[in-house]
Every structure is written in C-alpha cells, then in structure tokens.
Amino acid sequence: MKRAHWFGLSAGLILLLTAAMALAQQDPELLFAVVTKVSKDRRQVTAQVSSGGVVSEATLIASEAVLDNLIWKKLEVCHALKADAWKNAEGYRLVSIRVLDAGMLPMALQGIAGDCMIKKALEIAPQGD
C-alpha cells in the first residue's frame, strides 16, 4: 500500500516538473547580437551574443518566420540585432528579430560592433580608389 502511494506521488511530481519545464521553454529569451559571419544559405549566422549580460560567440538559427523577414534577407556582417530566441544545443533558434543602431546595444557589445565596423570599412576602403 505504501509503495503504491509513493509511486503515485512520485509520478505526479514528475508530471508537474515536466509541465513546469515545458512552460519555461515556451517563453523565448531576449538577446542582443552583432553579426560576425553570414553563411551562404542564410539559414544561420555567427554572432557575438549578449544574453543575461554574458557575451559569447553563438550561432543564430532562423526559424521559418525569420527566414521570410526582410531584415534577415538583407542581413550583413556587423548588423546589430535584438531578438527573441530559444537556446538549444546548436545555438539560438530565432523567433523574431529587430535591427538596432549599435548605440542601442548593451555596452559589452558596443565595442564589438565598433571594431566590426572599422574592420569592414578598412576592407572596403581600398576598393574606393
């Protein structure tokens, strides 16, 4: 009798924890990013990402809604983004994106964006002569 009671209680707790984890995964996380590399197929890009105040290099993976977004279609290296995304093993699956001025990024990313723009300008400058 006690064993059946504990089994029922533990099964109930497992169901509650599973439901709580599923609900936590439904809310995408807010992140800021500076694009550092765009793949040829444009399904994913590499970026310096600030999430929860920590900056790291990560892969941004476009969902179907983002792939159809004009911002994503025109995306280039050094673009600053604000996005809603879910973190997974491959990187961040983007739910929505918005372009930002680099000055609107968190301070930790502003320097990265500035360095990126300088590097990009130096690569383009010799072509102007």
Integer Cα distance of 12 and 7 in angstroms: 9
**Residue 24: pLDDT above 70?**
no
**What pLDDT shows up at residue 127?**
65
Report the relative pairing of strands 54-62 and 91-100 from DSSP bridges: parallel
22 vs 124 pLDDT, higher one: 124
Quote the CA–CA distance of 84 and 86 in Å, as a whole number: 7
pLDDT exceeds 60 at position 11: no
Phi-psi region of 63 (alpha: psi -120 to 50; beta: other; left: phi over 0): beta
Q: What is the pLDDT of residue 74?
A: 92
Q: How far is CA 42 from CA 48, 73, 74, 85, in A?
A: 17, 8, 10, 17
Residue 96: Cβ within 10 Å count: 14
91: pLDDT strictly greater than 60: yes
Amino acid 13: pLDDT: 47
pLDDT value for 110: 95
Residue predicted with more confidence, 50 or 13? 50
Query: Would you say 120 and 37 are in contact if contact means Cβ atoms under 8 Å apart?
Result: no
Q: What contacts 49, CB < 8 A, 6 or more positions away?
A: 31, 32, 33, 55, 56, 57, 58, 60, 92
Q: What is the pLDDT of residue 122?
A: 87
Is the pLDDT higher at 5 or at 47?
A: 47
Supply the pLDDT for residue 129. Answer: 55
In the chain, the domains with their CATH numbers are 27-128 (2.40.50.140)
Task: Tell me what the mean pLDDT of segment 67-73 comes to.
Answer: 92
